[in-house]
A = this chain, B = another copy of it.
Amino acid sequence: MNELHVTAEPGVPQVLTERALEAPRELVFRAFTEPDLLAQWLGPRAFTMRVERFDLRDGGSWRYVHVDEAGNEYGFHGVFHGEATIDGMVQTFEFEGAPGHVQMDTVTFEEADGVTTVRTNSVFQSVEARDAMVGSGMADGMGQGYERLEELLAKLEANR
Complex Cα distance A14/B121, Å? 14
Residue count of chain A within 8 Å CB distance of chain B: 28
What's the least CB distance linking A127 to chain B, in Å?
8
Copies in the complex: 2
A102's contact among B11, B100, B104, by CB below 8 Å, is which? B104
| A109 within 8 A of partner (CB) | no
Name A's interface SS: strand
A: residues with CB less than 8 A from B are 11-14, 55, 58-61, 78-82, 88, 90, 92, 94, 100, 102-104, 106, 121, 123-126
User: Can you list 22 contacts pairing A with B, beta carbon distance less than 8 Å?
Assistant: A11-B12, A13-B13, A14-B123, A58-B61, A58-B79, A59-B61, A59-B79, A79-B80, A79-B92, A81-B92, A81-B102, A88-B100, A90-B92, A103-B104, A104-B104, A104-B123, A104-B125, A106-B125, A121-B126, A123-B123, A123-B124, A123-B125
